[in-house]
């Protein structure tokens, strides 16, 4: 069992139930999925960037990503509908908790001049998004073989509908929020 999943079930759920006065155990907010997205605008000129991004995301998450395609054509960007423009992966269950554990304990502290993540990046429905400026903060990515520096978006989707409850759950998981 993943370390954070075990911690969630044994320590975090009782604390959240006590703090928010939740009587129904199914009403306790839980992490449903994590979506990791890497948008690659330069893929239009260099088709190899998609393959490199697939390799990087696969190494980081441990799961094969899906190549995302443009939905509409934009002449100003020389973009046609159906062109590959990014990769994304949806993590659930044990893999999701393993990724969250590596993100919080290894990757985020490796970011240069890191002072914490923005505590206000909730969407109003309890979901949280954060951006990472480069994929090299993850130890799974070999910096010597890395072809390009690319940022990524990480979105946490929660079962609860409250930003406050989701923020507290992330804080219990060890997410380093800026003060």
Give the model confidence (pLDDT) of 112-154 as tens digits. 778 888 888 888 888 999 988 887 788 787 776 777 788 889 9
Query: Tell me, what CATH number does 134's domain have?
Result: 3.30.1440.10
- Looking at the structure of the chain, the number of domains it has is 1
Contact 63, 91 (CB under 8 A): yes
Q: Which domain holds residue 133?
A: 3-21+31-117+126-173
pLDDT, the chain, mean: 85
- For CA atoms 81, 82, 86, 90, the dihedral sign is positive
How do the residues of the chain divide into helix, strand and coil, expressed in percent and rounded to 5?
40, 20, 35
Residue ranges of the alpha helices (H) in 83-138?
93-102
pLDDT of residue 1: 65
């Amino acid at each position: 069992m993943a370390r954070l999943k075990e911690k969630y079930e044994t320590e975090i759920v009782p604390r959240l139930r006590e703090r928010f006065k939740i009587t129904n155990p199914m009403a306790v907010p839980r992490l449903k999925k994590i979506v990791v997205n890497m948008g690659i605008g330069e893929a239009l000129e260099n088709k190899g960037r998609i393959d490199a991004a697939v390799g990087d995301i696969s190494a980081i998450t441990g799961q094969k990503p899906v190549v995302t395609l443009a939905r509409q054509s934009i002449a100003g960007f020389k973009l046609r509908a159906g062109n590959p423009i990014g990769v994304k992966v949806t993590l659930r269950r044990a893999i999701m908790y393993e990724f969250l554990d590596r993100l919080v304990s290894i990757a985020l502290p490796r970011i240069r001049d890191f002072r914490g993540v923005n505590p206000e990046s909730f969407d109003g429905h309890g979901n949280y998004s954060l951006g990472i400026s480069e994929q090299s903060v993850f130890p799974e990515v070999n910096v010597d073989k890395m072809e390009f520096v690319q940022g990524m978006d990480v979105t946490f989707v929660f079962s609860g509908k409250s930003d406050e409850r989701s923020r507290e759950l992330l804080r219990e998981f060890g997410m380093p929020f800026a003060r």
